[in-house]
Structure 1
Amino acid sequence: MAVASVEEERPPALRQEPASSALLVAAGLLLLLLGLWWLLGRRRALQGLPPGPKPWPLVGNFAYALVPNLLGFKRLMSVITTGLVPRGMEISTSTTSRPMSAHLILTSLGKTYGSVFSLFVGSRPLIVLSDFEAVHDALVNQAEVFSDRPSMPIVAIITKKKGVVFAPYGPVWRKQRKFSHSTLRHFGLGKHSLEPKIIEEFQYVKGEILKHGRAAFNPFPIIGNAVANVICSMALGRRFNYSDVGFKTLLSLMSRALEICLNSRIILVNICPWLYYLPFGPFRELRQIELDITTFLKKIIAQHRESLDAQNPQDFIDMYLLHADEEKKTNSESSFDEDYLFFIIAELFIAGTDTTSNTLLWSLLYMSLHPEEQKKVQEEIELVIGCDRPPSLADKARMPFTEATIMEVQRMTVVVPLCIPRMASETTVLQGYTIPKGSVIIPNLWSVHRDPKIWERPDDFYPARFLDENGQLLKKETFIPFGIGKRVCMGEQLAKMELFLMFVSLLQSFTFLYPEDSKKPSMEGRFGLTLAPFPFNIIALKR
């Protein structure tokens, strides 16, 4: 007699088709995910966290990072998968449209959820501060609580938690920053002694620009080389020729690294750190950039070690090496060593080159697109300085419109729009909300500088907003392009010197025009850790 199968022996009520079983399993998983999603949103309310869109289980509000590059609908998919873009924002489904920049998404979210709102990276809260009051309350009034850096895998992997920009707040950071700041001041930071080097560097800039005559050219490499060489004069004791292949490669690598660090796939490293070591895509590219930059800078440090003269230190590297040697004599556990020096030098290049060069490039772009404002600056230059004498920092006090124009460019562009993230070192209350220990804090400086409650016509380029009724410069506490608080940009004084002297020198020597046959670039900018203009060409007419 044949043996009946198990399925045949079951009562009819217990028999199920395979497809039906699969549907039940899928429905169960969906209900589980929806339940977890609801619970996560409920948990936010119970904990007193700021409002915000509900996170997905496991990945939080960054689920969109898993799919947009595969589908090519970055703006649309960010809405479908996370609801990150509130209603009313125009969404393009074109596969050729650029991804919406993080600072613009977060600014729009602030309009929906308020000046303090929360997102989640995995299960970790990320608190976004969207107006000046919230930023000031956190970074100034509660500076000790919000001065630490978040321990995020992508940052920890690249920086090894060393340096003076990304390192955790504490005794080691304080010693390293104090030494770095005092040593840079010794070599001219914030002092008039650095002025001749900036003016000298401009002569190379002028020579490069003159080579193009009346033809349109790309100003990016010229400006980038010039700003980097000012840093080189203090940190390395030398400048590089603009044709130096290694120097040009270094600047290109640093710019590219900043851009891809906020690639949606790279961000996933903060959820799954092992992704950083994948042998393809932006992961592989970023590791190769890290290796190339390390090789270049460590070679320079090794050369300084070989030629070190204890009686005659020439630059920052020499001073650091001497200080490290002294520290080792009395403290074998000292944090001062060549490895830490490497990370400080790398940060000086990144923070000191990319930010200032991008601001100058934005300045040239805005001047070419606003010729009437450019003419006013040039008239003030002629009145105060003339056509032949190079500018001096002593001229600033008598050039309010020029200063106002530089400030308006900084307000409009904010080259570090989301600041450098902070972390809550303890649970606290901010603006009435509970901020748990370990939360990542994002001060949205872009939103602060485009706040219509502070700035009239915030999206218009209007330098006169920084002048009073007598044409004198207005100091506004809400103008914070370098950040505020204990971790304000260490190179603020250097940047202000370079911006004024280079900007005035450029407009004293040239009139900048935007080519009539060229399409105007998007003024949203190209977002990485810094906000750079999209590539553009420009015409410089000798004055």
Structure 2
Amino acid sequence: LYKHKLLQLDEESGGAGVDPAPLISNAVSNVICSLILGQRFHHEDREFSMLLSLMARGLEISLNSPAVLINIFPLLYHLPFGAFKELRQVERDITVFLKKIIAKHQETLDPENPRDLADMYLIEMLAQQAAGEEDSSFTEDYLFYIIGDLFIAGTDTTTNSVLWILLYLVLYPDIQDTVQAEIDKVVGGHRVPSLTDRGSLPFTEATIMEVQRLAAVVPLGVPHMASETTEFRGYTIPKGTVVFPNLWSVHRDPTVWDNPDSFNPARFLDDEGKLLKKECFIPFGIGRRVCMGEQLAKMELFLTVTNLLQAFKFRLPEGMPPPPMLGRFGLTLAPYPYTVCVSTRSSNS
């Protein structure tokens, strides 16, 4: 369905190309929906489209307006004007949408046949209530926050990763050709790529990893807080200090990467063409608090990219300059909007 829509939009553009962001965002978000809500939404579903728009707007307000100061002065959240007022309205609208879905799950819950993460959570919540566990962390409020976090974090980061990968591939058509040749050789054109193909597509994996390194979609990671006063390399980090891991700096460090600003997927391959694991490659963070969605994101990236490249050739519209490659900084580092021309591949046999 999404592939058909992509071609349709490209044909309607008259050579101006199609903005891949809305379709990619819908597809990625629907993966999250399937896992936590047991359902998918059509890309033209009005409420679903509104939810995605609200999430995007909420992130934009909270990171690219005076509302960013709420992180330092929480009382600003209650100001009755401007970005602060709009942010509260966005949160209310998202809350109504998600709580409506949770209520529907409660009404239709069958403990013997859980459909998704929400059902599994509700079953455990009811079990702990029946056991009289008064201090249980399984509550409706926590379920709401979990679903909200998965929606926002799981959609925005993976969507922008896919968009960066497509952008680099149109700017480096030789790399796109090499990836597609590898997919054609291993997968062919008579079935779609699956996760079992990952080990047989090292150059494709290396290309995805190299874009993750350069783009650093979450450049400052997720902020953490020191639970105890800690001494580290001569510095005292007091308890309660907010710590930001600078993943961008690690991924661009010239002491661990040769020509760190250049796009070179081969840096993740050994002399035999096998995939290399590098300790300084940490797009999902590091340590005990590494991103909990790492494995899901890796699977989504691989399947989305390989399916798109198996089916289509991507290029920039004729005469269209590439967007600035530094990206737009917010919660995630998103590429500037761009359009691509899409053509069906006929040689993937």
TM-score w.r.t. the length of structure 1 is 0.61
In the alignment, what sits opposite 2:339? 537
Structure 1 residue 207: Cα displacement: 1.5
Moved more, 338-347 or 206-215: 206-215
Contact 1:416 1:530 in 2 (8 A): yes
Structure 2 CA distance for aligned equivalents of residues 267 and 522 of structure 1: 24
SS of the residue corresponding to residue 9 of structure 2 reads coil
Contact 1:514 1:539 in 2 (8 A): yes
Structure 1 CA distance for aligned equivalents of residues 235 and 141 of structure 2: 40
Cα deviations by residue, 1:457-509 (Å, 9 ceiling, x for unpaired): 11111111111112111110110101111111111111111111111110110
1:438 aligns with 2:235: no
In the alignment, what sits opposite 2:221? 419
1:293 aligns with 2:94: yes
In the alignment, what sits opposite 2:199? 397
Letter in 2 for 1:499: L
Contact 2:125 2:138 in 1 (8 A): yes
SS of the residue corresponding to residue 473 of structure 1 reads coil
**Residue 542 and residue 272 in structure 1: after superposition, are their counterparts in 2 closer, same or farther (change >3 A)?**
same
1:513 aligns with 2:315: yes
In the alignment, what sits opposite 2:9? 212
Structure 1 residue 258: Cα displacement: 2.1
Letter in 1 for 2:88: R
Moved more, 291-300 or 527-536: 527-536
Letter in 1 for 2:52: L
In the alignment, what sits opposite 1:382? 184
Which structure 2 residues correspond to residues 261-280 of structure 1 after superposition, within 5 A?
Answer: 261-263=62-64, 265-280=66-81
Structure 1 residue 213: Cα displacement: 4.2
1:311 aligns with 2:112: yes
Q: Which runs of 4+ in 1 moved over 3 A?
A: none
Structure 1 residue 332: Cα displacement: 2.1
Moved more, 408-417 or 214-223: 214-223
Structure 1 CA distance for aligned equivalents of residues 60 and 288 of structure 2: 26
SS of the residue corresponding to residue 244 of structure 2 reads strand
Structure 1 residue 524: Cα displacement: 1.2
1:452 aligns with 2:254: yes
Contact 1:258 1:530 in 2 (8 A): no
**Overall identity of the aligned pairs, in %:** 61
1:259 aligns with 2:259: no
In the alignment, what sits opposite 2:290? 488
Structure 2 CA distance for aligned equivalents of residues 324 and 259 of structure 1: 34
Structure 2 CA distance for aligned equivalents of residues 385 and 333 of structure 1: 51
Structure 2 CA distance for aligned equivalents of residues 452 and 516 of structure 1: 35
Structure 1 residue 267: Cα displacement: 3.2
Matching residue within 9, 13, 26 for 1:225: 26
Cα deviations by residue, 1:406-455 (Å, 9 ceiling, x for unpaired): 00010011111111111111211112211122211110001110111111
Structure 1 CA distance for aligned equivalents of residues 227 and 148 of structure 2: 26
Structure 1 CA distance for aligned equivalents of residues 205 and 187 of structure 2: 14
Structure 2 CA distance for aligned equivalents of residues 264 and 230 of structure 1: 30
Contact 2:252 2:261 in 1 (8 A): yes
In the alignment, what sits opposite 1:139? none
Matching residue within 120, 125, 128 for 1:327: 128
SS of the residue corresponding to residue 476 of structure 1 reads coil
Q: Which entry has the higher C-alpha Rg, 1 or 2?
A: 1
Structure 2 alignment gaps of length 5 or more = none
CA-atom RMSD, angstroms?
A: 1.3
Structure 1 residue 272: Cα displacement: 3.1
SS of the residue corresponding to residue 429 of structure 1 reads strand
Which structure 2 residues correspond to residues 26-37 of structure 1 after superposition, within 5 A?
Answer: none
Cα deviations by residue, 1:105-139 (Å, 9 ceiling, x for unpaired): xxxxxxxxxxxxxxxxxxxxxxxxxxxxxxxxxxx
Letter in 1 for 2:296: L
SS of the residue corresponding to residue 212 of structure 1 reads helix
Structure 2 CA distance for aligned equivalents of residues 518 and 402 of structure 1: 26
Question: Aligned pairs, how many?
Answer: 340
Structure 2 CA distance for aligned equivalents of residues 491 and 406 of structure 1: 17
Structure 2 CA distance for aligned equivalents of residues 439 and 477 of structure 1: 26
Contact 1:259 1:527 in 2 (8 A): no
Letter in 2 for 1:355: T
Structure 1 CA distance for aligned equivalents of residues 265 and 73 of structure 2: 45
Structure 1 CA distance for aligned equivalents of residues 49 and 42 of structure 2: 9
Moved more, 250-259 or 479-488: 250-259
